[in-house]
């Protein structure tokens, strides 16, 4: 279901749904909304629209409507649409999953670093969704590979980022969770180790995030908003170690590589981030002892030091507040311990 003028490239978002807004013309005659939208949206049949409305994915002036609702002049119509990556068969594969919570509607999983979330170009096996498919088939052996729910994915985190991820187990739960992610009501807190000593104890980074104009596998911050999509990251210093800083980042939006790109834009790339320049010595005097210390730290945590620590949302069925917190993985815990010891020794000198 694609509005004719919309750009549906999933270019800079970890949230796998998009929202499209239409404002009804002043001279519009009363007309059933399913008919109105089927005439306005490329590929949208009235049956598809009815299904979307049943799931609450079409609103008028902020309220869900039924197919027989008659639009009025200046009504603001919003359609939430799935813009997930290209369909790829999800083959069930046995995998150890750390499931923090599960009920009939959803699963909350603590993803380890190094695990790709969904199958795609170059990663057709060994992804989190392959493991989830196997797990769900054990619960219900009648599930076929064709119906195993790739649709359960409403957001994602980078391969080398660890932490919490929620997956829906029903179509209704998926749509409700997707709306929360898009409306920025989901609470997401990440912990990171970044290069340098941040000037302020707390702050907000506002800069669009979009693909790099030359290197298409990377993303870039565009503070003037000339490319990409709006991105907002709030940060707070938790500990200072001189040459590196331990920070908490709260996402207001969820763009691909958002924290990594925003912290680089601020002049503080994530420690050990080999995509955005954090895998070399960025701060500190390069003498043999310090260089060896940093290299040991890179070996201890050979990926960007970023963990999706907390996740909060409203349960799609019970409407209860759900909040999850997970401890830092051992590689980041050990990394912080080494920097604490180094900073303490440095102060004594």
Residues that are catalytic: 158
DSSP string, 261-305: HHHHHTT-PBTT-TTTTTTS--SS---HHHHHHHHHHHHHS-S--
Helix (H, G, I), strand (E, B), or coil: what is residue 178? helix
Beta bridge partners, 136, equal none
What residues does 206 pair with on adjacent strands? 232
Q: Which residues of 327-343 are buried (b: 16+ CB within 10 A; e: fewer)?
A: ebbebbeebbebbeebb
- CA 296, 301, 303, 309 dihedral sign is negative
Q: DSSP state, 100?
A: E
- The helix/strand/coil state of 72 is coil
Q: What values do phi and psi take at 207, rounded to 5?
A: -160, 130
In the numeric block, which tokens belong to residue 76?
Answer: 């603001």
Alpha-carbon distance 96 to 227, whole Å? 40
Q: CA-CA distance, 220 to 325, in Å (whole number)? A: 29
Beta strand 2-3 pairing with 41-42 = antiparallel
Distance CA 253, CA 106 (A): 22
Give how far the C-alpha of residue 206 lies from the chain's centroid of Cα atoms, to the nearest Å: 17
């Amino acid at each position: 279901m694609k509005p004719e003028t919309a750009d549906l490239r999933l270019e800079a978002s970890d949230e796998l749904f998009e929202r499209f807004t239409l404002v009804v013309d002043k001279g519009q005659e009363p007309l059933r909304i399913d008919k109105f939208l089927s005439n306005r949206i490329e590929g949208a049949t009235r049956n598809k629209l009815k299904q979307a409305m049943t799931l609450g994915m079409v609103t008028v002036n902020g309220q869900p409507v039924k197919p027989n609702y008659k639009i009025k002049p200046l009504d603001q119509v919003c359609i939430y649409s799935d813009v997930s990556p290209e369909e790829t068969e999800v083959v069930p594969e046995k995998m150890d999953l750390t499931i923090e919570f599960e009920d009939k509607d959803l699963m909350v999983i603590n993803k380890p670093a190094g695990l790709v979330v969904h199958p795609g170009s170059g990663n057709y096996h060994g992804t989190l969704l392959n493991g989830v498919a196997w797990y769900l088939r054990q619960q219900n052996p009648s599930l076929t590979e064709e119906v195993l729910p790739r649709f359960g994915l409403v957001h994602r985190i980078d391969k080398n980022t660890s932490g919490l991820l929620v997956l829906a187990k029903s179509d209704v739960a998926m749509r409700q969770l997707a709306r929360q992610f898009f409306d920025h009501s989901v609470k997401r807190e990440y912990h990171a180790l970044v290069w340098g000593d941040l000037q302020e104890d707390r702050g907000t980074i506002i800069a669009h995030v979009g693909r790099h104009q030359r290197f298409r596998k990377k993303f870039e911050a565009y503070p003037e908003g000339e490319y990409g999509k709006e991105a907002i990251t709030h940060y707070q210093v938790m500990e200072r170690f001189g040459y590196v800083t331990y920070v908490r980042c709260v996402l207001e939006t969820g763009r691909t590589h958002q924290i990594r790109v925003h912290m680089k834009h601020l002049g503080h790339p994530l420690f050990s981030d080999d995509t955005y320049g954090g895998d070399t010595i960025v701060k500190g005097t390069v003498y043999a002892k310090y260089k060896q210390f940093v290299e040991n730290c890179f070996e201890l945590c050979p990926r960007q030091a970023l963990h999706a620590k907390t996740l909060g949302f409203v349960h799609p069925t019970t409407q209860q507040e759900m909040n999850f917190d997970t401890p830092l993985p051992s590689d980041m815990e050990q990394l912080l311990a080494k920097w604490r010891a180094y900073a303490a020794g440095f102060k004594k000198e």
